[in-house]
Amino acid sequence: MTSFDNTSSGDHSWRLCRGPANWFTFRCPDAVDVRQNQTLIELRLRALEGSAAHTTGSTENEQFEPTMLSMVTWWDDAESDATRRPSPDLTVLFPQVAELRPEPSLKMASANEVWSGISRRAAAGCWLARVFKRKPRYQWRLWTIRHGRLTIVATVQSAESDFLNPGFVMLCERILGTLEIADHPAWPPDMFLKQVIELARQRFPLLQAAASRGFSLKLGHSEISLSNFYRMYLQQPDSFRRIVLPALTTMVRLQELSPEQLVPGLAEIRDSILPMLSADDDTRIDERVRMPWVGGLSVGYVMDEDASYRYIHQSMLENWQLSLDELHDLAIHNLQQYASENPLEVTMVGDESDPGMLMPVKADAYNSSRILDPKFHGRLREMFGPELIVGVPNRDFFVAVTMKDRALIEQVRVRVNEDFATMHHPLTRRLLVVSADGVSEYCEI
């Protein structure tokens, strides 16, 4: 689901939805399901028995599948209007157009055009049948909205041999009319990667900078994934250099370290080893030491260096002659020491004697790691009771909620899902249960 906040519009409850890369926002009613996949957004009206929005004029009691509005967004990096991508080709979107007419433009600040039409669908069967068989028709509507380098194309079409429901078309126009497009939209991922490479070549001209596997940068002999930096950039598009430059500087600094510095002795860094949660499906392929955990998560281990940290690799364990269990016990011991030196400041919903929800006030790279500490479990259970729900959507944040309030759990689920989809260092959408037995995945009965 796309991230949303509840709001209201007229007599209906509407919610605020965000487009790809925070390029725009729009509002829609709760009766519309919104799904997003990269630059495609699909808005599907849920079928409601007896609702006029889901029936056409064919028969009074006939029910149809919910109608869907599709929105596709693209970024055009052409330098001039003359070289920019033209409006979408109707013959590609809706082949064999039989009727076509312009419709009134949407009442909005961005330039837009609206077209409606009827197209013929290719007939099935052998070639002779296709010649004599009457091709079924369907009705469609197209909205094209332009704002700077962004173009949003929205389409809706009827079922075969049917007409669009006027009520649904009107709802689509109302939704599209709420679009608010960013004046200075963030770069798409491919443009972000190009800008990172250009910055690396400017600041470190003696090192070769190039795109690497996946969404990664190779600078000299080092390679780094840009996924988390891109998520940070989406939250602060004006802070590109401040977000990226420290990472590039760290990559260069690591290449200047001697082998002894890259693999220090255990005695030197023993007290700085801490656990770090990561997602099981992390696409980075390296030799990081990881221990499987719960909820689609693994435990990694880092050497804390105040302003940054470095992951511990398998070669270090072998050099230290340390087992994975011994490393884990050492990291948890250090985490408890870290927690005592960095007390957690929290925001609480409800009374201290009967809290409903708790979350950290300040972001911290080890906030979600605290969930690994059995002593921390004990303190949470003293507050919430024998069992509680915990969400860890990203590295810097967690939320704990009572098992008593199902409505509150559902609100937390929505918030966790939103943060997981938008924040940097994402961990998991799944909720966890903390109990006397430890931590397990929350499975609603």
Q: Which amino acid does the sequence have at 60? A: E
Out of 135, 153, 181, a domain closes at 181
pLDDT at residue number 161: 78
Cα–Cα distance, 391 to 430 (Å, whole number): 7
- Check whether residue 203 and residue 145 sit in a common domain: no
Cα–Cα distance, 183 to 315 (Å, whole number): 48
Cα–Cα distance, 138 to 145 (Å, whole number): 23
Q: Which residues of 81-105 are buried (b: 16+ CB within 10 A; e: fewer)?
A: eeeeeeebeeeebbeeeeeeeeeee
Residue 289 domain-assigned (yes or no)? no
Strand arrangement of the beta sheet that strand 216-219 belongs to: 209-212, 216-219, 222-225
Out of 234, 256, 278, a domain closes at 256
Q: What is the pTM of this model?
A: 0.64
Residue 335 domain-assigned (yes or no)? no
- Check whether residue 97 and residue 225 sit in a common domain: no
- Check whether residue 138 and residue 205 sit in a common domain: no
Residue 249: strand, helix, or coil: helix
Cα–Cα distance, 156 to 172 (Å, whole number): 9
Are the beta carbons of 220 and 265 closer than 8 angstroms?
no
Cα–Cα distance, 142 to 97 (Å, whole number): 13
Q: Give DSSP secondary structure letters for 338-407.
A: HHHHSPPPEEEEE-SSSEEEEEESS--TTTGGGGG-HHHHHHHHHHH-S-EEEEEEETTEEEEEESS-HH
pLDDT at residue number 380: 93
Residue 209 domain-assigned (yes or no)? yes
Cα 40 from chain centroid (whole Å):
13
- Check whether residue 202 and residue 168 sit in a common domain: no
Q: Which residue has the tokens 């990081």?
A: 288
Residue 155 domain-assigned (yes or no)? yes
Q: Which residue has the tokens 């969404």?
A: 215
- Tell me the CA distances in angstroms from 347 to 4, 344, 356, 406, 408, one per residue in order: 22, 10, 11, 20, 15
Residue 237 domain-assigned (yes or no)? yes
Q: Both tokens of residue 223?
A: 């390679």
Q: Give the CATH number for residue 166.
A: 2.60.120.1690
Are the beta carbons of 48 and 31 closer than 8 angstroms?
yes
- Check whether residue 367 and residue 435 sit in a common domain: yes
- Check whether residue 109 and residue 141 sit in a common domain: yes
In angstroms, what is the C-alpha Rg of the chain? Answer: 27
Are the beta carbons of 303 and 310 closer than 8 angstroms?
yes
- Provide the 10 A C-beta neighbour count for residue 67: 23
Determine if residue 125 is left, alpha or beta; phi over 0 gives left, psi from -120 to 50 gives alpha, anything else beta: left
- Tell me the CA distances in angstroms from 108 to 21, 23, 28, 86, 112, one per residue in order: 21, 16, 16, 21, 8
- Check whether residue 60 and residue 31 sit in a common domain: yes
Residue 220 domain-assigned (yes or no)? yes
pLDDT at residue number 39: 75
- Check whether residue 244 and residue 373 sit in a common domain: no
- Check whether residue 92 and residue 9 sit in a common domain: yes
Cα–Cα distance, 296 to 301 (Å, whole number): 17
Q: Which residue has the tokens 């079928």?
A: 47
Residue 147 domain-assigned (yes or no)? yes
Mean pLDDT, 10 residues at a time, the chain of 445 residues: 41 75 89 82 71 40 61 78 67 86 93 93 54 72 92 91 89 94 88 94 93 86 84 88 90 72 82 92 70 93 82 89 94 95 89 86 91 93 93 92 90 88 86 93 80
- Check whether residue 76 and residue 160 sit in a common domain: yes
Query: What total of structural domains would you count in the chain?
Result: 3
- Check whether residue 137 and residue 29 sit in a common domain: yes
Which residue segment(s) compose the domain that 102 sits in? 4-181
Q: Both tokens of residue 248?
A: 């590039």
Are the beta carbons of 317 and 289 closer than 8 angstroms?
yes
Determine if residue 229 is left, alpha or beta; phi over 0 gives left, psi from -120 to 50 gives alpha, anything else beta: alpha
pLDDT at residue number 374: 94
Q: Which of 103, 112, 156 has the alpha carbon at shortest distance from 24?
A: 112
Out of 127, 159, 181, a domain closes at 181
Residue 18 domain-assigned (yes or no)? yes
Q: Which residues of 159-187 are buried (b: 16+ CB within 10 A; e: fewer)?
A: eeebebbebbbebbbbbbebbebbeebbb
Exposed / middle / buried, residue 237 (Cβ in 10 Å: 0-12, 13-18, 19+)? middle
Are the beta carbons of 197 and 210 closer than 8 angstroms?
yes
Our CA angle for 130, 136, 142, nearest 5°, is 125
- Check whether residue 70 and residue 171 sit in a common domain: yes
